[in-house]
Structure 1
Amino acid sequence: MTEIATEPRRVRPRRTVTSVEVLCALLVVAVVFQRPLGDLLDFPALRTGATVFLAVCVQAMPFLVLGVLVSGLIAAFVPPGALRRLLPGRTAAAVPVAGVAGLALPGCECASVPVARRLVQQGVAPAAALSFLLAAPAVNPVVLVATAVAFPGQPRMVLARFIASLLTACAMGWLWSRFGRPEWLAERALRRVEAQHGGGSRWVVFAESARHDLVEAGGFLVLGGLTSAVFNVAVPTGWLESLGGHLVLGVLVLAVLAVVLALCSEADAFVVASMPGLPLIPKLVFLVVGPAVDLKLVAMQSGAFGRRFAARFAPATFVVAITSALVVGALLLGGA
């Protein structure tokens, strides 16, 4: 008998709805049906919350898209070894250079973690790679421009964020070079090398990188917009004003909030700028702590470098980020 070869049936992957599509759908519905929704939900609190949500998302979206596009281009066309060749041989000098090199990676924390791991795998000193990891999502031009737009007429806020974030990255790099131990890094962070894309199209790599970052960051933007809207509606203005009168309490609350919200660094300025009644120094703490240590970043660091690393690096970064923001804020922002 002749066997008849049957071609295996292809299973089509199930189409899933991403957070970016949900965000776009919500924005379109809110804009198109603004008047009917306003008549249906004619409550002052809901109107205020919807206004804040739309303002945060609409303002932040262009910067978010620009950030993931540039990040995708770098991931596809800039070889990871390029940064290693630019670093000085001495670790102490390589740390600030790697921090300033963060200007070249306009992406969120999601992009900086795998890049830092590749640098370690290719022989870059861990201290310099960690400095780059912390600086890249906080000092790049997209984040700084977004901060300037979120805080119009306050250029010192932009300068303070840049200096405090770079100071945090360098301080953690120097601390790691002095006290860090190689055994705290997981074996996979030192030995495993990222697969090369070989003959694959660089534009495919670009598209996949940009899509991944946009899907990840879009969800956090929606969360941030909703949280900001609820925050403005649910929290009385008097409570915020009283919190603003207690600098230490305001700093601690905003620092913890930055860790819990885990916002994308391209959108966090719009969220914190919409919080009324708070002085600039606690807001600066929020902007410096968020890109350096938050829940999603700790999870990604644990996966890339190991739990022993994350358990030591995240708490130390939290303290250093708050201290840096307070010192720089006191010098540049004063009592604002």
Structure 2
Amino acid sequence: MGIRKPGPSVRLKLTLSYAGFLMLAGALLLMTVWVFLRSHLPEVAVMPGGVLNRATLMSTFTSAAGVVVVFLLVFGLLGGWILAGRMLAPLTRITDAARRATGGSLSHRIRLDGRKDEFRELADAFDAMLTRLEAQVAEQQRFAANASHELRTPLAISQALLEVARTDPAGVPGELVDRLHAVNSRAIDLTEALLLLSQADQRSFTRDRVDLSLVAEEATETLLPLAEKRGLTIETTGEITPTHGSHALLLQLTTNLVHNAIVHGRGTVWVTTAAEPKAVVLTVENAGEELTPQLVSTLVEPFQRGTERVRADHAGVGLGLAIVKSITQAHDGTLTLTPRPGGGLGITVRLPRWWLR
């Protein structure tokens, strides 16, 4: 954008508009009176003070009208300036809040008093935007700190293992190579998860018709060997559930849910799809340990793991449910986590239903 030249303020424009409208209304009124007098006054009028002709009366009226016009101009400018200032006072507070936000202060709120009008709605909307923006910035800062910590851990381990190898350059034991491979794989998985999370947050994907029931079957087939290895069974039921979105991201969402249910569950994992009048629903449940609502509410946060649910194998990088949440929001859906009676977790994803147009 080019640099714009400074122009007259809104207050000055409103003042001139008020004064101009007042002068126009006064001029029209005076013109109406002038036409009326010119049309109805006789040439010579007998007045208590003497005899006056119409020309003299019209000249006197014209002089008085000029004084009235000047008075209306002064009154309109002065009154318009005062009224414009009072009308624009809320806008000044909103502008001040916007400048503070631009400077990095997101905690300031306008909190405009008075009855609900256009300025009050604008101020309330701006306050709501600041509240949401402040929460997002705090979440991003927390996420960046956690991501740095999670990435630093495998790098530190790799550095320590390499230091051990350097002290014995004659030969690197196979166990050391295996550990380096495992640490490197974890770092790669974490990086890929961060990239996927960023893609979902930016909504940079193409939307197509996707059947969640087919996606659930695909994810279940992929993870079936892991379930069999851990002694779990997967039961998949449901109906055709068409939605609108990215097949790859929705497959990742379903895979994360099923993988999470397998790793942290026992016995059986239930995967169900259902269609509602305006939405499609994917539900993944597992049996397992008792979970408190407080713990469940933190599981969708990045790098948050329920300590009693994490095991050494297939523990993941702590972004599985965070990615599910991000993909769900990117598809204008809702995510609900509920502890199951008797132990385990039930996760429900509700997405807008796709309709053929």
Same fold (TM over 0.5): no
Q: How high is the TM-score relative to the length of structure 1?
A: 0.28
Q: Which has the higher contact order (CA 8 A, sep 6+)?
A: 1
Q: How high is the TM-score relative to the length of structure 2?
A: 0.27
Question: Which of the pair is proportionally richer in helix?
Answer: 1
Question: Which of the pair is proportionally richer in strand?
Answer: 2
